[in-house]
């Protein structure tokens, strides 16, 4: 819950702050990408050894399907992830609600011209890649710093490429918190169907590949 709270405070918070600054599109994209990637890396470094740093319901589900996470913990983890996101959404509302309505508290939005089908496909692809990076990190990378760098860096790059099109959620909890407390619910199914489907594909593919090779890569 704490990890997801920090993600939704820092990530969408960076969107709110940059929306009120005179930054170029590229500068804004870099700031937001670094904010999201950085907070994910920080959470992995600080909380990973306690909880696995699961701050994304989609990745939790994907990890369970991959056989890398106890399926009995999925429901409590997901419940606390959403609780953390909602608390963060409330905090954003209290801190920024009256200052910047345009950003809708950092809610994820589809760009003009991007259809719901296009957005869902992009979220599937992005979440699949992110989930695979998390599974590889947890299964094959021993050093916590390297795990943080791999997953945080993957998210940063994905946001740089997909962010301008869908907002690059890859995380149902990240989308829920800001949308509930801003009242923005446009195309929200994209950010539930896409990430969960992408993570499921990644989890099943990872499990099959792992079983096929029969042993861990060194």
Judged by DSSP in three states, 187 sits in coil
Per the model's pLDDT, the better-predicted residue between 101 and 95 turns out to be 95
What are the tens digits of pLDDT across the range 65-80?
999 999 999 999 999 9
What are the tens digits of pLDDT across the range 127-152?
999 999 999 999 999 999 999 999 99
Whole-prediction pTM? 0.94
Alpha helices, DSSP H only, in the chain?
2-19, 25-51, 57-65, 74-96, 116-140, 144-166, 172-182, 190-213
What are the tens digits of pLDDT across the range 99-135?
656 789 999 999 999 999 999 999 999 999 999 999 9
In this prediction, residues 34-40 reach a mean pLDDT of: 98
Domain 2-213, CATH? 1.20.1080.10
């Amino acid at each position: 819950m704490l990890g997801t709270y920090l993600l939704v405070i820092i990530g969408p918070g960076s969107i709110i702050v940059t929306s009120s600054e005179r930054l170029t599109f590229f500068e804004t994209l870099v700031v937001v990408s670094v904010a999201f990637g950085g907070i994910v890396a920080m959470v992995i470094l600080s909380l990973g050894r306690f909880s696995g740093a699961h701050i994304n319901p989609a990745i939790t589900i994907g990890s369970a399907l991959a056989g890398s996470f106890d399926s009995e913990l999925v429901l409590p983890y997901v419940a606390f992830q959403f609780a953390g996101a909602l608390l963060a959404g409330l905090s954003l509302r209290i801190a920024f609600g009256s200052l910047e309505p345009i950003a809708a508290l950092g809610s994820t939005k589809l760009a003009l011209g991007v259809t719901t089908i296009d957005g869902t496909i992009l979220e599937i692809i992005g979440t699949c890649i992110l989930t695979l990076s998390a599974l590889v990190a947890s299964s094959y990378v021993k050093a916590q710093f390297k795990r943080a760098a791999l997953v945080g860096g993957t998210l940063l790059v994905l946001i740089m490429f997909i962010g301008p099109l869908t907002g690059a959620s890859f995380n149902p909890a990240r989308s829920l918190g800001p949308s509930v407390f801003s009242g923005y619910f446009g195309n929200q199914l994209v950010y539930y169907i896409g990430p969960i489907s992408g993570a499921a594909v990644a989890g099943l593919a990872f499990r099959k590949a792992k079983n096929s090779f029969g042993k861990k890569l060194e």
